[in-house]
Structure 1
Amino acid sequence: MDQGITDRLKTAILLMALAGLVTGLVLHFAGQAALANLAWTAGVVPALIALVVEILRSIGRGEVGLDIVAALSMTAALVFGETLAAAVVAVMYSGGTFLESFAEGRARREMHDLLSRVPRTATRYRNGGLEDVPLDDIAPGDRLLIRQGDVVPVDGTVASDAAFLDTSALTGESLPVRLTRGADAMSGSTNAGEVFDLTAVRRAKESTYAGIVRLVEAAQRSKAPMSRLADRWSLGFLAVTVIIAFAAWWFTNDPIRAVAVLVVATPCPLILAVPVALVAGLSRAAHFGVLIKGAGPLETMARIRTLILDKTGTLTDGRPQIVSIDSRNGMDENDILRFAAALDQASKHPVAQASVAAAKARGLALPVPSDVTEIPGEGVIGCVDGRRIIVGGNGFVAGRVGTPSADDLAVAAGSVVVAVAVDGRMAGRLVMSDPLREGAGAMLDGLRREGVERILLATGDRADVAERVTEGLGLNGVRAGLTPDQKVLLVLTERKNGPVMMVGDGVNDAPALAAADVGVAMGARGAAASAEAADVVLLVDRVDRLVPGIEIARAARRIAVESVVAGIGLSVLGMIAAAFGYLTPVEGALLQEAIDVAVILNALRALQIKPREIAAPKTQPGTLAIAE
């Protein structure tokens, strides 16, 4: 049944039950006892019918829940003439289901906000003018106009000098991010600055935001294993309730005490607190840029004991950066970088783009190269400001300028050396490495505080590079040179130590992500295959978001369990009091209503979970090598 229709039906049943209760009270105090009983009964019948239908549906699905207790209490109250108690139970039960729907809606509000922000059209440049087109009509390479306040419709690169984007809805970042020309802009972020142009790099259905929306929808449809466990617990609680009610009737020969016992036990906090707390946890995690695909993965995250990390693009940044410039023949370092970066503008190779980014970061003006020839995997040749430039590997450049290949430069294991020649002479070399992600060390410390006992590195890179990565991090193990199936085997082997979380970003990580108890994908720049296989997607390109994600998962599960234990404990105490005659059916109904409201409000505390802030370390344990 459509969710909107279901919500309206719950509202209607609550209003009928409430109208019957109020009308009956008015008639009762007016001295019309018979009419009062009739009004109370009329208010109970719709709720009882809806309840019986739901019980039959549950039995058809093979589930036995505590709705049966509610049906028994209302039926018994009507049979034994306790129509006021039956009316209170009807209002209590219908009000509880209505409040549950309201609470889940409140918990999902941030997710609904995310969905509602999906743009439907975009403004595209065409034939010297602008046109509004549906998102499906946008193709890679289209130039789009992003006005102030617009939501970026597709993934693209900034085609203007600068752009200020608000990514808070996706990543939880409170301040807008400044992007320069050529920087990647993620769909779903909001333009918080002046108008800018965007060059589309993906179609709308393939963009980050569309993928996020699909994952959110899947998360909302999920049902947690803990909820199924609650259903199993409910059978035992149902048995205890019936036994106490029967004993109260048997030993006192007073059926009204049995009615009071049944009323106090209706409905059970198990069916209210668990889904509310876990859905609230999903919403809170999304606020911090951690998209968990369902309540099941969220609960499993709370029990993680082993973490396996991929290297390139996960523990490291995955993008090479210049760490030093070796100058030859008196050439200035900035001139070496400027000539190399100017020529590299014509190449899409990651190393070429790294030199361009480094030059722009230094404020160097980059002229447009001409007569460019790129030899794939080797290097680039062309002219910059009338001078002939060659950029590439040592052997490639040395062979074209007629000098021996120089290997005297001491570099860290796996670092990349880019040679630069100007007008037939070796000008210098750029040394590039893949740096450790900012905050990686603090993240690992935070994970250990959260109870993660084993942290391992799993990489397909060489052993010497892997050792360089782990230097100073205190990992429990390093596994290098692994193929995708060997990563899967590692995940399965580590399960003997408890639930395993695998974090990766590449296509080669997808099988291991699927095999892990919880797979986590770097969603900002990771491969689509890894995002599809994972249970959790980090929306922001920061692996340190794992810590608040696990904190939120554990806190949400703890709040759910607290609500269940407190609710059941109070209900059992109330049933015992009713069995000994200290509570009438009406008083029992009012007591249970208060218990239900209390556990739902307690479960909603998950929306206020505040994970500790992660401070970036002042120093990093070194720079890391690029995977080859």
Structure 2
Amino acid sequence: MSLTGLCLGMALHVAGQPQATGTVWALAVLPVIATLLVEILRSLAQGEFGLDIVAALSMSAALIFGENLAAAVVAVMYSGGSFLESFAEGRARREMRDLLSRVPRMAARYCNGGLEDVPLDRITHGDRLLIRQGDVVPVDGRITSASAYLDNSALTGEPLPIRLPQGAEAMSGATNAGEAFDLEATNDAGSSTYAGIVRLVEAAQRSKAPMSRLADRWSLGFLAVTLAIALAAWGLSGDPIRAVAVLVVATPCPLILAVPVALVAGLSRAAHFGVLVKGAGPLEAMARIRTLILDKTGTLTDGRPQIVGIESREGLDKDEILRLAASLDQASKHPVAQAVVAAAKARGLALVLPHDVAERPGEGVTGMIDGRRIAVGGSAFVADLAEADGLQSQCGQVVVALAIDGRLAGQIIMADALREGADEMLAALRAQGILRILLATGDRADVAQRVTQGLGLDAVHADLSPGEKVRLVIGEHASAPVMMVGDGVNDAPALAAADVGVAMGARGAAASAEAADVVLLVDRLDRIAPGIEIARRAKAIALQSVIAGIGLSVLGMLAAGFGYLTPVQGALLQEVIDVAVILNALRALRIVPQTPRATATREPAPPPLENVHGADLPASHSRGAADRS
């Protein structure tokens, strides 16, 4: 509206309609002033002084004393800066839609001998639901099928799925990692585990201190200087137009424009490196971070079973053991079997199709490969079918045993391993000025200690509930600004409470992505350090623009106070200053992080078994017995 009014008034001026020109310019300014007054009252109610006061004073004074063109120019500059900020934040929000598409909103309920899809708020205690493979459990309930295979990593931090027997309780927010099963609802959606975590997120967001904008932190001092010069010019000269000229020159366009431009450019650069920042406020906050808190499963670790060792018992090559196991496991949907197949393909091994396949659900598979009878599965499963003396596993590992023609041939050792380059990533973060790095996980203490051995973390906190993670974040915030990084539903409250919450968006839970201020669009933890570097350099460029622009504005205010500039000339001078600071702010588009990033993920060479830093999982998580997990 302000831009249209300015252009229309200029057209009328050229057409020789001076009376209409002034009216149009005034009408273009009034909506901006009205909006500013609302913002000023809202800010004052919160005890804050923003840039809105200076801008409202300059436009109001210009209109009162008939300097309508100057008022219209200021209105265009102010509304343009506000639009830039809202546009950047709106674009970031739109990019979040796909990430949030996984939030469960419907469930399949048995009704009149069939199935119907119903909204979550219509599920009541006692309803029988079908949980399909890959579905998120919508409400707390009791398993009525023979068993269910659930991935609770998003809720508890436990890295691998577990098999629950009939009658066991399943928590909402868990993912069905196995075959479809029936669930009897024991809570409605509003009373379930997932809903409780969402309420905890909302409470954390309400208690979180609002982010103060960089521009607002300069505004109070600038307002005092402006009023002092304007009143002095009016009092000493007796000419109110000089005061108007001072106010017009003082319109804080370097703050209004340069800061958003630099920060929007920083948002763009961060997105280029796979770091989606939800607005200028979080980007500013990233530049101040001094403490980093990391989740374990799916964040510091990969969150999926990986091969960390292969043992041979019959003199077979280790790759041959993996090839045979993966060839047979192609016939199984079990997550561990699929991980074995994926690892074999990653190594370029040629898999063959199995024949005469028979699977014992949750335990193992038998079949014919290259004319030999092969058995692959948990230790107990293979021990029932073959001579398997000496089979053993260490706590914290998943063992996949392989038997050939009735004799044990080898074992594949799997664990939830650290992400590749984790130590280099932590070193890069310390180089960026991070003073404290902590681990916060819902997993067991012995698991956390084993995984983080040698990383040089400042503290390791395990067995934490979502509420305890929030309290840890709040406690660390008392000493320094805190960044929390996580991917699970149980991390969402802590992400909301931190100064900056960072979610792993590629495979993380939708709740954490929604609660976070920053989302990593690629499943790479090494993007955090470049993101922080971009934030700090963008903020530095914004500060340079502010200091230069405010310095030039003060000189212009002094010239206007001594009568050397009229209000319109002051507005034009301010435009020249604006162009200069905007061009400087645009340098943020060319930021290239110097922080080294890890190379593309590759399959690490299997370390010796005694040196494995795998997750310390319960013994029941071996692939075998009733679990095969």
TM over 0.5: yes
Q: Distance in 2 between matches of 1:567 and 1:459?
A: 46
Q: Equivalent residue of 1:225, what SS?
A: coil
Q: Distance in 2 between matches of 1:576 and 1:404?
A: 92
Q: What residue in structure 2 maps to residue 162 of structure 1?
A: none
Please list, as runs of the form range in 1=range in 2, the aligned pairs for 1:364-443 lying within 5 A after superposition: 364-376=350-362, 378-385=363-370, 387-407=372-392, 414-443=396-425
- Which of 245, 260, 263 matches 2:248? 263
Which digits, 9 at most, give the CA deviation of each residue in 1:515-568, with x for residues without a partner?
322221211122223223322211101000001111122223333333333333
Please list, as runs of the form range in 1=range in 2, the aligned pairs for 1:324-403 lying within 5 A after superposition: 324-360=309-345, 361-376=347-362, 378-385=363-370, 387-403=372-388
Amino acid aligned to 1:558: A
Q: Distance in 1 between matches of 2:231 and 2:405?
A: 99
What is the CA distance between 1:386 and its match in structure 2? 5.4
Q: How many pairs are equivalent?
A: 498
Q: What residue in structure 2 maps to residue 518 of structure 1?
A: 500
1:322 paired to 2:310: no
Q: What residue in structure 2 maps to residue 205 of structure 1?
A: none
Distance 1:526 1:339, change over 3 A: same
Q: Which moved more, 1:100-109 or 1:440-449?
A: 100-109
Amino acid aligned to 2:384: G
- Which of 96, 106, 126 matches 2:77? 96
Residue 20 of structure 1 contacts residue 42 of structure 1 at CA under 8 Å; is this kept in 2?
Answer: no
1:624 paired to 2:616: no
Q: What residue in structure 1 maps to residue 63 of structure 2?
A: 75
What is the CA distance between 1:290 and its match in structure 2? 0.9
1:307 paired to 2:269: no
Which digits, 9 at most, give the CA deviation of each residue in 1:364-407, with x for residues without a partner?
2221354322332x333444455433222323322332544533
Q: What residue in structure 2 maps to residue 16 of structure 1?
A: 8
Q: Which moved more, 1:542-551 or 1:275-284?
A: 275-284
Residue 367 of structure 1 contacts residue 384 of structure 1 at CA under 8 Å; is this kept in 2?
Answer: yes
Q: Please, which runs of 5 or more residues in structure 1 have no aligned partner?
A: 1-8, 28-34, 119-139, 142-222
Residue 78 of structure 2 contacts residue 256 of structure 2 at CA under 8 Å; is this kept in 1?
Answer: no
Q: Equivalent residue of 1:269, what SS?
A: helix
Residue 65 of structure 1 contacts residue 231 of structure 1 at CA under 8 Å; is this kept in 2?
Answer: no
Residue 295 of structure 2 contacts residue 486 of structure 2 at CA under 8 Å; is this kept in 1?
Answer: yes
Q: Which moved more, 1:312-321 or 1:14-23?
A: 14-23
What is the CA distance between 1:498 and its match in structure 2? 0.9
Distance 1:309 1:92, change over 3 A: same
1:54 paired to 2:35: yes
Q: Equivalent residue of 2:53, what SS?
A: coil
Identity of aligned residues (%): 59
Q: Distance in 2 between matches of 1:116 and 1:494?
A: 31
Q: What residue in structure 2 maps to residue 444 of structure 1?
A: 426
TM-score, with normalisation over the residues of structure 1? 0.69
Q: Equivalent residue of 1:65, what SS?
A: helix
What is the CA distance between 1:598 and its match in structure 2? 2.6
Q: What residue in structure 2 maps to residue 531 of structure 1?
A: 513
Greater RCO (CA < 8 Å, at least 6 residues apart): 2
What is the CA distance between 1:453 and its match in structure 2? 0.3
Q: Please, which runs of 5 or more residues in structure 2 have no aligned partner?
A: 45-51, 100-131, 134-208, 618-629
Amino acid aligned to 2:8: M
Distance 1:580 1:115, change over 3 A: same
Q: Distance in 2 between matches of 1:102 and 1:502?
A: 30
Residue 260 of structure 1 contacts residue 579 of structure 1 at CA under 8 Å; is this kept in 2?
Answer: yes
Residue 323 of structure 2 contacts residue 350 of structure 2 at CA under 8 Å; is this kept in 1?
Answer: yes
Q: Distance in 1 between matches of 2:464 and 2:37?
A: 52
Q: Distance in 1 between matches of 2:458 and 2:587?
A: 35
Q: Which moved more, 1:514-523 or 1:454-463?
A: 454-463
Q: Distance in 2 between matches of 1:247 and 1:530?
A: 54
TM-score, with normalisation over the residues of structure 2? 0.69
Q: What residue in structure 1 maps to residue 275 of structure 2?
A: 290
Q: Distance in 2 between matches of 1:574 and 1:565?
A: 14
Residue 415 of structure 1 contacts residue 431 of structure 1 at CA under 8 Å; is this kept in 2?
Answer: yes
Q: What residue in structure 2 maps to residue 601 of structure 1?
A: 583
Distance 1:384 1:495, change over 3 A: same
Q: Distance in 2 between matches of 1:107 and 1:488?
A: 29
Q: Distance in 2 between matches of 1:115 and 1:525?
A: 14
RMSD of Structure 2 on Structure 1 (CA): 3.8
Please list, as runs of the form range in 1=range in 2, the aligned pairs for 1:31-180 lying within 5 A after superposition: 38=19, 41-42=22-23, 44-59=25-40, 61-62=42-43, 64-78=52-66, 86-87=68-69, 89-90=70-71, 92-97=73-78, 100=81
Distance 1:296 1:587, change over 3 A: closer
Q: Equivalent residue of 1:389, what SS?
A: strand
Q: Distance in 1 between matches of 2:595 and 2:218?
A: 37
What is the CA distance between 1:239 and its match in structure 2? 4.8
Q: Distance in 2 between matches of 1:251 and 1:494?
A: 53
Distance 1:596 1:517, change over 3 A: same
Q: Which moved more, 1:295-304 or 1:544-553?
A: 295-304
